[in-house]
Amino acid sequence: MRPQRLILLSCLLLAIALGGCADHQALALTELEGAGYTEITLTHAGGAGHAYEVVAKKDGVDCKGSISVTAMPGSSTASFDTEVHCKKPEPEKPEFSEDELALQKAEAACKKDPKACPELGKFLVEGPLSTRDLPRARQVHADACKADVLDSCSHLGSLQLRGLGGDRDEAAAELSYTGACEKQSMLGCANLGRLRYINRKFKDAKPLFEKSCMGGEMTGCEGLGMMLREGAGGKEDYKGARKWFQMACDGGHMSSCTNLGVMYAKGEGGGHNMSRAAELLTAACESGHQAACSHKKRYIK
């Protein structure tokens, strides 16, 4: 609230001859104009006093409030009690959020070329919460798989195996992986190898991991590292595991960097190397791999 203040005004009177009554509304208007308000509308607030509701603008902003005027008959001064608040308009919200625009872009790319559909499917599964749609992701990958987009066949299998976007169906997942692998999708081979590994069919898993790893799919290299580290289907081989984890880590596979960091921290396959462990776990953690963050807290003091 603006404090009351006395201001000297030129006598704004409509009826000096009739008792010298001040025009309180004109005084209020002059006071508001002097304070920088424009487009002023004054409405008597009712009662016996001289109080007015104010609607105006200031610096282009809408303002509302009240003003009361006290002036003695025949006096050239008046006092004002003004309470006017100006509210800046809310900024116009864009028609679409950044996430929605990104989704629209991915949809357009998929519609134009089925080879772009795996990215749309990934966005629908792993993107911002506001755009996630697992059933739709499953359908996107299914349609792209029918168009021989082999990565989508592999992703479809993963959704089927995990029961995301629909019923869990391991048999359907195996068919999706197998079809992709047979058409030389290294991701399909790696995923099929992982399914065999989960089901403890180690002899079947190993050649699938080897094929995919040699074909440039880093999850296959990680699979080999896991088998050797755990002695799945044979003896434990920590040095061999480090080799495959290192290859996958060098290829940007953060899960493998995490596994390798833990091996360095525990001295598996060689001496303890805490600085190397810290380097690997920090990089993987900063990339968003949560398991690396947990291991870093555990091993790196």
| CB atoms closer than 10 angstroms to residue 15 | 10
Count the domains in the chain. Answer: 3
Q: Do 57 and 130 reside in the same domain of the chain?
A: no
Give the model confidence (pLDDT) of 175-201 as tens digits. 999 999 999 999 999 999 999 999 999
Report whether 261 contacts 281 (CB < 8 A). Answer: yes
Q: Do 16 and 78 reside in the same domain of the chain?
A: yes
Q: Do 237 and 262 reside in the same domain of the chain?
A: yes
66 located within any domain: yes
**What is the domain extent for residue 30?**
2-87
202 located within any domain: no
Out of 87, 117, 132, pick the residue that ends a domain: 87
> Percentage of the chain with pLDDT > 70?
91
199 located within any domain: no
pLDDT for res 46: 79
252 located within any domain: yes
Which range, 12-16, 151-155, 296-300, has the best average confidence (pLDDT)?
151-155
Lowest mean pLDDT segment, chosen from 34-48, 74-88, 222-236, 251-265: 74-88
Give the residue-averaged pLDDT of 126-142. Answer: 94
pLDDT for res 4: 36
Helices (H), the chain: 24-34, 98-112, 117-126, 134-146, 150-162, 170-182, 186-198, 202-214, 218-230, 238-250, 254-266, 274-286, 290-299
How far apart are alpha carbons 23 and 1 in whole angstroms?
23
Two tokens, residue 301: 């003091």
How far apart are alpha carbons 71 and 15 in whole angstroms?
14
144 located within any domain: yes
Q: Do 72 and 28 reside in the same domain of the chain?
A: yes
Q: Do 101 and 83 reside in the same domain of the chain?
A: no
pLDDT for res 38: 93
CATH number of the domain to which 259 belongs: 1.25.40.10
How far apart are alpha carbons 128 and 118 in whole angstroms?
16
197 located within any domain: no
69 located within any domain: yes
pLDDT for res 170: 97
Token pair 């068919």: residue: 175
Out of 60, 87, 114, pick the residue that ends a domain: 87
How far apart are alpha carbons 220 and 97 in whole angstroms?
38
pLDDT for res 94: 73
pLDDT for res 22: 64
Report whether 4 contacts 79 (CB < 8 A). Answer: yes
160 located within any domain: yes
pLDDT for res 8: 33
